[in-house]
Protein backbone atom coordinates (compact mmCIF):
# COMPACT_ATOMS: atom_id res chain seq x y z
CA UNK A 1 0.00 0.00 0.00
CA UNK A 2 1.40 3.38 -1.02
CA UNK A 3 1.38 6.18 1.55
CA UNK A 4 -0.85 9.08 0.65
CA UNK A 5 0.88 12.44 0.63
CA UNK A 6 -1.41 15.42 0.22
CA UNK A 7 -0.38 18.88 -0.75
CA UNK A 8 -0.92 21.80 1.53
CA UNK A 9 -2.91 24.58 -0.01
CA UNK A 10 -2.59 28.16 1.20
CA UNK A 11 -5.24 29.65 3.45
CA UNK A 12 -8.12 31.06 1.40
CA UNK A 13 -8.21 34.82 1.09
CA UNK A 14 -11.31 36.32 2.67
CA UNK A 15 -13.03 39.41 1.43
CA UNK A 16 -14.68 39.72 4.85
CA UNK A 17 -13.06 42.59 6.83
CA UNK A 18 -13.51 40.53 10.02
CA UNK A 19 -10.75 38.21 8.80
CA UNK A 20 -7.04 38.94 8.65
CA UNK A 21 -4.84 36.29 7.05
CA UNK A 22 -7.65 33.74 7.32
CA UNK A 23 -8.23 34.33 11.05
CA UNK A 24 -11.24 36.08 12.58
CA UNK A 25 -10.44 39.45 14.16
CA UNK A 26 -13.56 39.59 16.32
CA UNK A 27 -15.04 36.85 18.52
CA UNK A 28 -17.95 34.95 16.99
CA UNK A 29 -20.32 36.26 19.64
CA UNK A 30 -19.65 39.86 18.59
CA UNK A 31 -20.54 39.29 14.94
CA UNK A 32 -23.90 40.38 13.56
CA UNK A 33 -26.47 37.60 13.60
CA UNK A 34 -24.48 35.47 16.04
CA UNK A 35 -26.51 33.20 18.31
CA UNK A 36 -23.63 32.16 20.56
CA UNK A 37 -23.21 33.32 24.12
CA UNK A 38 -20.90 36.26 24.88
CA UNK A 39 -17.23 35.46 25.23
CA UNK A 40 -15.97 35.74 28.80
CA UNK A 41 -12.28 35.81 29.51
CA UNK A 42 -10.86 34.50 32.74
CA UNK A 43 -7.49 35.18 34.25
CA UNK A 44 -5.13 32.70 35.84
CA UNK A 45 -6.11 33.94 39.29
CA UNK A 46 -9.79 33.11 38.57
CA UNK A 47 -8.99 29.46 37.93
CA UNK A 48 -8.68 27.00 40.83
CA UNK A 49 -5.17 25.56 40.73
CA UNK A 50 -4.60 21.90 41.49
CA UNK A 51 -1.78 20.07 43.20
CA UNK A 52 1.19 19.44 40.90
CA UNK A 53 1.57 15.84 42.08
CA UNK A 54 0.37 13.42 39.43
CA UNK A 55 -2.90 11.74 40.29
CA UNK A 56 -3.86 14.34 42.91
CA UNK A 57 -6.96 16.43 42.27
CA UNK A 58 -6.86 18.45 45.50
CA UNK A 59 -6.72 22.22 45.29
CA UNK A 60 -3.30 23.79 45.73
CA UNK A 61 -2.56 25.63 48.97
CA UNK A 62 1.25 25.77 49.02
CA UNK A 63 3.93 26.84 46.53
CA UNK A 64 7.16 24.84 46.51
CA UNK A 65 10.34 26.40 45.16
CA UNK A 66 13.92 25.22 45.38
CA UNK A 67 17.48 26.29 44.68
CA UNK A 68 19.68 23.47 43.57
CA UNK A 69 22.97 25.30 44.20
CA UNK A 70 22.11 25.86 47.88
CA UNK A 71 20.34 22.50 48.36
CA UNK A 72 17.28 24.24 49.80
CA UNK A 73 13.54 23.79 49.36
CA UNK A 74 11.03 26.46 50.37
CA UNK A 75 7.35 26.02 51.16
CA UNK A 76 5.38 29.26 50.93
CA UNK A 77 1.74 30.32 50.96
CA UNK A 78 0.22 29.76 47.52
CA UNK A 79 1.57 32.36 45.11
CA UNK A 80 -1.06 34.63 43.57
CA UNK A 81 -0.15 33.48 40.04
CA UNK A 82 1.28 30.27 38.65
CA UNK A 83 5.05 30.28 38.16
CA UNK A 84 6.58 27.82 35.70
CA UNK A 85 9.60 27.43 38.00
CA UNK A 86 7.55 26.51 41.10
CA UNK A 87 5.23 23.69 42.08
CA UNK A 88 1.75 24.16 43.54
CA UNK A 89 0.93 21.53 46.14
CA UNK A 90 -2.01 20.58 48.34
CA UNK A 91 -1.66 20.65 52.13
CA UNK A 92 -1.37 16.85 52.35
CA UNK A 93 1.53 16.56 49.91
CA UNK A 94 3.31 19.61 51.31
CA UNK A 95 3.12 18.08 54.79
CA UNK A 96 4.59 14.78 53.60
CA UNK A 97 7.40 16.39 51.60
CA UNK A 98 10.88 15.01 52.14
CA UNK A 99 13.94 16.52 50.52
CA UNK A 100 16.99 14.62 49.27
CA UNK A 101 19.73 13.83 51.76
CA UNK A 102 21.75 16.94 52.56
CA UNK A 103 18.97 19.34 51.54
CA UNK A 104 17.12 21.68 53.91
CA UNK A 105 13.36 22.25 53.86
CA UNK A 106 12.28 25.72 54.98
CA UNK A 107 8.58 26.12 55.74
CA UNK A 108 7.89 29.83 55.42
CA UNK A 109 4.09 29.61 55.60
CA UNK A 110 3.77 30.66 59.26
CA UNK A 111 5.37 33.87 60.40
CA UNK A 112 7.84 33.48 63.23
CA UNK A 113 6.06 34.08 66.52
CA UNK A 114 7.98 35.63 69.40
CA UNK A 115 8.43 33.39 72.41
CA UNK A 116 6.80 34.83 75.51
CA UNK A 117 8.24 33.95 78.90
CA UNK A 118 6.13 34.50 82.01
CA UNK A 119 7.97 36.30 84.80
CA 96 vs. chain centroid, Å, equals 22
Cα separations in angstroms, 101 against 71, 72, 87, 104: 9, 11, 20, 9
pLDDT digit string, tens, across residues 6-52: 554 454 554 555 545 555 555 555 555 555 544 455 554 556 899 99
Q: How confident is the model at residue 4 (pLDDT cuts 50, 70, 90)?
A: low
User: What is the helix (H) or strand (E) element at residue 91, kind and residue range?
Assistant: helix 91-95
Sign of dihedral through CA atoms 103, 109, 111, 117?
negative
Amino acid sequence: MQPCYGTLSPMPAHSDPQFVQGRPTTPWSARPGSTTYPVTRSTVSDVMRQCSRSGCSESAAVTLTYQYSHAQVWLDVLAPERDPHAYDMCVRHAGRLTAPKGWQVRDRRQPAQPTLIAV
